[in-house]
Copies of this chain bind each other. A is one copy, B any other.
Amino acid sequence: MNAHEFRRRGKEMVDYVADYLEGVEGRQVYPDVEPGYLRPLLPTAAPQEPETFEDIIKDVEKIIMPGAASPACTELETVMMDWLGKMLRLPAVFLAGEAGEGGGVIQGSASEATLVALLAARTKVTRCLQAASPGLTQATIMEKLVAYASDQAHSSVERAGLIGGVKLKAIPSDGKFAMRASALQEALERDKAEGLIPFFVVATLGTTSCCSFDNLLEVGPICREEDVWLHVDAAYAGSAFICPEFRHLLNGVEYADSFNFNPHKWLLVNFDCSAMWVKKRTDLTGAFKLDPVYLKHSHQDSGLITDYRHWQLPLGRRFRSLKMWFVFRMYGVKGLQAYIRKHVQLSHEFEALVHQDPRFEICAEVTLGLVCFRLKGSNKLNEALLERINSAKKIHLVPCHLRDQFVLRFAICSRTVESAHVQLAWEHIRGLATDLLGAQKEEKAGKPCWGGQISSTI
């Protein structure tokens, strides 16, 4: 949607809201629809080609408004999560469908998804052990529980362990910053020998630091063998899996118990919208379910409806699936794929530019939209370069450490980014690098820096 259409449609929406408020007394306070009313009204998958705003807004009045906020909010979410799961070719076991045991839910952030998964896994293993040995207290069990993630995993994983009150161990990643079978198996064996209880593994697809991928096809079978909950965190990279040429990066997800990525990161859905699927929704609802009278309703035990309050930490919910519905239909799957492909192509363009300049090096394989690079030389040199780049305020880079190297990260992530922006950014970086290296050379040579004053070389 260009700015011209945005102005027109935005104003129509303002009128829609005002009309709604002016006419609200004429509407029924409670919908007439029955649970499950919405799914038959929608296609079973997202459209391949873009649809018009006109068509979508017509459907709001026809499909959403009769279901008001409830149950439309819940039912649209379930269907949208199925649409998105199908876009990713997620195994069918993760979808709700009409009678599936799995399903998707929108969380606020990948941090919450990881925490929810960890808490569900904790409850599951605790109940299982208590069923086998009724004398065991929760605390005795929790003391022995161990969760695992690669040393490249996001800090939110460590935080989930902290909140959940369980040990979280970092598995050393390999030369490509990936968690592999051998390191994980070694940790599991060592811990089991010490009487600890491995119960939860987070595998990351597309790490924050360098967009590396844990080896799911190795890690998955180990988790299944050891009966350990596998949570797959693809917060950033997940959006790319809608493209067939990147889907192989998700292979092995069939071993996972839960999977999460953030459409708000790279799939044009506004913040916040973190998509989480589980194979067995009873694993989540079992961990969180409490039913006071003021939250009871007539369809409670029918099995027909989804009570998302049992799937998440907060009780209240926003109607975030509307964002997905609009975006999926306005872009179509092909439009979203084109968006992802353009970003990946631009990051390779930037990678090629870096390769052409012998002063720089690429620090990790470029798979999606992130390029990790640095000046050949010390960390101090690269810290100085970052300082110059961010002080100039033309572009903004966020660094990371890869092992002991300080690394700059060039991330393609704007909705409107073009090749010209990438070229300009690189010229800007190169220019600042030239200035920096020149200044350093002068400093080393003990040359007067300005006005005859001698700079210190200490």
Interface residues of A (CB under 8 A from B): 3, 6-7, 10-11, 13-15, 17-18, 21-22, 24, 28-30, 32, 108-112, 115, 119, 122, 137-140, 142-143, 154-156, 158-159, 162-165, 208-209, 271-272, 287-288, 290-295, 313-316, 318, 390, 393-396, 398-401, 409, 416
Contacts and interface: CB of A to CB of B under 8 A. Distances in A.
Given A314-B111, A396-B29, A10 B18 contact: yes
Nearest to A407: B293
B15 A271 contact: no
A80 to B, nearest CB: 20
A287 B161 CA distance: 12
Contact of A393 (B15, B29, B394): B29
Chain A contact residues: over half helix, strand or loop, or mixed? helix
A15 B398 CA distance: 32
**Nearest 6 A-B pairs (CB), nearest first?**
A139-B143, A10-B14, A109-B314, A155-B292, A30-B393, A155-B290
Contact of A313 (B21, B111, B400): B111
A17 B10 CA distance: 10
B315 A111 contact: yes
A294 B139 contact: no
Given A7-B14, A32-B393, 11 more contacts: A6-B17, A7-B18, A11-B11, A14-B14, A111-B313, A139-B165, A142-B142, A155-B291, A155-B295, A159-B290, A163-B313
A155 B310 CA distance: 12
20 contacts: A13-B14, A28-B393, A30-B396, A115-B313, A119-B163, A138-B143, A139-B139, A139-B142, A139-B143, A156-B315, A162-B287, A163-B163, A209-B293, A271-B316, A272-B318, A293-B400, A293-B401, A294-B398, A294-B400, A294-B409
A10 B13 CA distance: 9
A288 B115 CA distance: 13
Contact of A3 (B3, B22, B159, B314): B22
Contacts of A287: 162
Contacts of A401: 293
A208 B315 CA distance: 13
Contacts of A159: 288, 290
Contacts of A390: 30
B316 A272 contact: yes
Contacts of A154: 292
Contacts of A163: 119, 163-164, 288, 313
B139 A395 contact: no
B165 A138 contact: yes
Among A138, A154, A316, residue most surrounded by chain B Cβ atoms (within 10 Å): A316
Given A10-B14, A18-B6, A294-B400, A314 B108 contact: yes
